[in-house]
Amino acid sequence: MKLKLKDEDIVKILEHYSINNIRIIGDEVSFSCPFPEHPFGDRNPSSSINTKGFWHCFGCGRSGTIVNLISELENIPEAVAYRWLTDSLSEKLQLHYSAREYLAKPKEKDVENIIPDEFLSNFKVDWDKVEKFYDSGYRGILSYPFKRGLRKEILKEFNIGYDTKSERLIFPIKNSSGKLVGFKGRATSSKDKPKYKSIGDKTSTYYGFPNCKIHNYVYGLYNANSDVIIVEGEIDVLWLRQNGINAIGLGGSVFSEKQKQAILSHCTSATLLLDRDSAGEKVERKILKNLVTYMPVRVARLEKGDPAGNTKNDIKNAIQNTEYKLKELIKK
């Protein structure tokens, strides 16, 4: 860690976290340790930090760097804390946000187009009625989710719809805060190309909302727990969620920098459960190289196919059996 800190910088950071009894003493800053190991509080400051960013508490014995101090205070990965701190230093410590809030806030050039939820009604499907038709023998376009084993409850929970213009199933895309930012269409026939595409306006007004960069987002991240199962497709996410498994999806065999940052900001550990094909193995290696130094990452492997093509027991067994050597996988 190479950070150029002044005493005034350290004071500002500590004040940002409402730490008590902050004083500059020589080339160090003393402060009350913020952790609960002090049964009566740390009224006589026993912690200090120097301008190189190293700190120690002589009361409870904790020590480390200012990065891991921030990491522990906010319960976030150290990589996230480091980025927040370095970005804040470059902006002269304009600490308007916590590390989580700051990293979730889009930079000016990446401002998102938030779409009003009213646009969900443009693609609304009465899945109760479709299910009844399916049980009676209907096998048209809208039967596809049921053929894949999905139930109406999960389809309604994730607002899965249908676009009559492109004749595709619609997956609403939400950012990590749960705001609607776009729609993704999936072909239900192998004859329709491409299989997936972003639904929206690029130039002329057709849908009434902009086309979004779908590979900037992680499907289902907004309502996932911090220990996640990472899969490729939206259907995989729905299948696992339907079976009580905390899954998020990349939306294909691509892993972008924005997806990486979103996962680091939201998650504390991950298990990869990707398709058993060359594309799945390639993205598996890329994810490992990008995440394994920041959080615990395990690899689960199915015997064949994608998660949505396997039973609940097969998936749970694969998740429990994660004995692969990560270093060997990364070197491939």
Strands 196-199 and 247-249: what pairing? unpaired
- Is 38's pLDDT higher than 80? no
Position 112 confidence tier, pLDDT thresholds 50, 70, 90: confident
Predicted local distance difference test score (pLDDT) of residue 15: 87
Alpha helices in the chain (DSSP H): 7-16, 66-74, 78-90, 99-104, 127-135, 144-147, 152-157, 234-242, 257-266, 278-291, 312-320, 326-331
Predicted local distance difference test score (pLDDT) of residue 247: 97
At what angle are helices 257-266 and 78-90 packed, to 10 degrees? Answer: 110
Position 122 confidence tier, pLDDT thresholds 50, 70, 90: very high
Give residue 13's Cα distance to chain centre: 26
CATH 3.40.1360.10 fits 221-331, yes or no: yes
**Quick check: 237 and 249 in contact, CB under 8 A?**
yes
* 221 contacts: CB under 8 Å, gap ≥ 6: 176, 228, 248, 262, 263, 266
Residue ranges per structural domain of the chain: 7-105, 117-214, 221-331
- Is 163's pLDDT higher than 90? yes
Q: Between 82 and 298, name the one with better pLDDT.
A: 298
Predicted local distance difference test score (pLDDT) of residue 331: 54
Tell me whether domains 7-105 and 117-214 share a fold. no
Structure tokens at 143: 């039967």
Q: Which CATH class is domain 7-105?
A: alpha beta
pTM for the model stands at 0.69
Q: Peptide bond before 34: cis, by omega within 30 degrees of 0? A: no
DSSP letters along 104-122, please?
HSPPGGG---PPPGGGGGG
CATH of 117-214 given 3.90.220, 2.40.160, 2.30.30, 3.90.980: 3.90.980
Predicted local distance difference test score (pLDDT) of residue 46: 85
pLDDT (mean) for 9-13 = 85
Give residue 242's Cα distance to chain centre: 19
**Quick check: 119 and 38 in contact, CB under 8 A?**
no
Which residue type sits at 143?
S
